[in-house]
């Protein structure tokens, strides 16, 4: 996958693979008919890591990195995650808005020179149910991200045994690598 190919995408599908000791994710393009198309990136996250770090590669051979994100600190309450390109250069960040997330999960994504992109769970009732009734944590959710009051992107967790997310990108100038990092993070970090 090239950055140009990724930047042209307006819809993505992120699918979690079920593995014992790691979380793995596939990021797919979406065809004009709405079907899952070719794989754009493959991500892997170690479970129970001391300091969160996820690297995305071109595929599951893990030979060529595309991007990654890493927590700045070990304590995860409202942690900030820096997003890097394949060469380790920073391209943006995201962080959990801890206070706002007590009842309804809220995130902030920052792209240099672009301002804050705020994201929040759409349905407050689902957010409360998932948060306070453990066996309902599997409920699907919908995040809307906006910049200056206009839609930037959305991430929708679908029903199913494996976690699958439909990502829609509305802002043509938004760096898709940040969107991919945030979509993977919503699964990898959301329950923390």
Residue 192 confidence (pLDDT) above 50:
no
User: Between 186 and 18, whose confidence is greater?
Assistant: 186
Paired sense of beta strands 53-57 and 36-46, if any: antiparallel
pLDDT in tens, 4-51: 788 889 999 999 887 777 788 999 999 888 888 889 999 987 665 556
Amino acid 152: pLDDT: 97
| CA–CA dist 81, 112 (Å, integer) | 14
Residue with the larger pLDDT of the pair 115 and 83: 83
Three-state SS for 7-74 is HCCCEEEEEEECCCCEEEEEEEEECCCCCEEEEEEEEEEECCCCCCEEEEECCCCCCCEEEEEEECCC
pTM over 0.95, yes/no: no
Q: How far apart are CA 47 and CA 83, in angstroms?
A: 19
């Amino acid at each position: 996958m090239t950055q140009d190919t990724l930047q042209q995408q307006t819809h993505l599908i992120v699918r979690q693979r079920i593995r014992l000791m790691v979380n793995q994710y596939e990021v797919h393009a979406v065809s004009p008919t709405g079907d899952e198309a070719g794989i754009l990136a493959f991500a892997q996250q170690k479970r129970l890591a001391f300091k969160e770090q996820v690297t995305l590669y071109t595929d599951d051979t893990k030979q060529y990195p595309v991007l990654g994100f890493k927590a700045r600190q070990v304590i995860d309450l409202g942690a900030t995650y820096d997003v890097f390109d394949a060469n380790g250069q920073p391209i943006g960040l995201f962080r959990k808005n801890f206070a706002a997330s007590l009842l309804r999960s809220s995130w902030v994504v920052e792209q240099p020179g672009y301002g804050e992109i705020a994201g929040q769970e759409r349905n407050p009732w689902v957010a409360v149910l998932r948060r306070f009734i453990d066996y309902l944590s599997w409920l699907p959710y919908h995040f809307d991200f906006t910049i200056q009051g206009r839609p930037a992107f959305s991430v929708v967790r679908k029903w199913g045994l494996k976690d699958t997310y439909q990502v829609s990108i509305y802002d043509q100038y938004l760096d898709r690598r940040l969107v991919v990092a945030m979509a993977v993070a919503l699964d990898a970090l959301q329950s923390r």
